[in-house]
Chain A
Amino acid sequence: MDRVPIIKIGKYLLAAIQADVQDNVAVALQEDLAARIIAAGSRLVLLDISGLQIVDSFIGRMIGDTAGIVKLLDAEVIVVGMQPAVAITLVELGLTLSGVRTALNVESALAMAGIRDRN
Chain B
Amino acid sequence: MTSNPLVTPVPLVRAKYETILESWIAEQRRSATARPDLISDSDRARQSSEVLSTLLEGLDSGSLDVSGPAWEHMRATLRGISLSRGRLGFSPTETVLFILSLKEPLFDSLQELDPSDRAEAILELNKLVDRFTLFTSEVYQQGREEVILRQQQEVLELSTPVVRLWQGILTLPLIGTLDSERTQVVMESLLQAIVDTGSTIAIIDITGVQTVDTKVAQHLIQTVAAARLMGADCMISGIRPQIAQTIIHLGITLPDIVTKATLADAFLAALDRLGRRVVATDTESAAGR
Contacts and interface: CB of A to CB of B under 8 A. Distances in A.
B245 interface: no
A111 B47 CA distance: 58
Interface stretch (B60-68, B96-104, B222-230): B222-230
A82 B188 contact: no
Interface in B239-279: none
Given A90-B229, A102-B230, A104-B200, A84 B222 contact: no
B195 interface: yes
B229 A104 contact: no
Nearest to B199: A104
A108 B231 contact: yes
Given A92-B222, A104-B232, A87 B227 contact: yes
Nearest to A100: B229
Interface in A75-110: 79-80, 82-84, 87-88, 90-92, 96-97, 101-105, 107-109
Interface in A54-84: 79-80, 82-84
B209 interface: no
B198 interface: yes
19 contacts: A79-B231, A82-B229, A83-B195, A84-B188, A84-B191, A87-B191, A87-B226, A87-B229, A90-B226, A91-B226, A97-B229, A102-B230, A102-B231, A104-B194, A104-B198, A104-B200, A104-B231, A108-B198, A108-B231
Contacts of A79: 231
Top-4 shortest CB links A-B = A84-B191, A87-B226, A103-B231, A102-B231
Interface string B11-53: 0000000000000000000000000000000000000000000
Contacts of B192: 84
Interface in A3-62: none
Given A88-B222, A91-B222, A92-B222, A102 B229 contact: yes
A83 B198 CA distance: 12
Q: How large is the interface on B (under 10, 10 to 19, 20 to 34, 35 or more residues)?
A: 10 to 19
Contacts of B198: 104-105, 107-108
A6 to B, nearest CB: 21
Contacts of B231: 79-80, 82, 101-104, 108-109
Contact of A88 (B191, B194, B199, B200): B191
Interface string B152-168: 00000000000000000
Contact of A104 (B188, B195, B222, B226): B195
Q: Which of A82, A91, A102 has the most CB of B within 10 A?
A: A91
A104 B225 contact: no
A88 B187 CA distance: 10
A97 B231 CA distance: 12
A81 B195 CA distance: 8
Contacts of B230: 82, 84, 87, 102, 104
Given A83-B195, A91-B222, A104-B195, 13 more contacts: A82-B229, A82-B231, A84-B191, A84-B192, A84-B230, A87-B227, A90-B226, A97-B229, A102-B228, A102-B229, A102-B231, A104-B198, A104-B232
A83 B192 CA distance: 8
B158 to A, nearest CB: 17
Contacts of A84: 188, 191-192, 194-195, 226, 230
Contacts of A102: 228-231
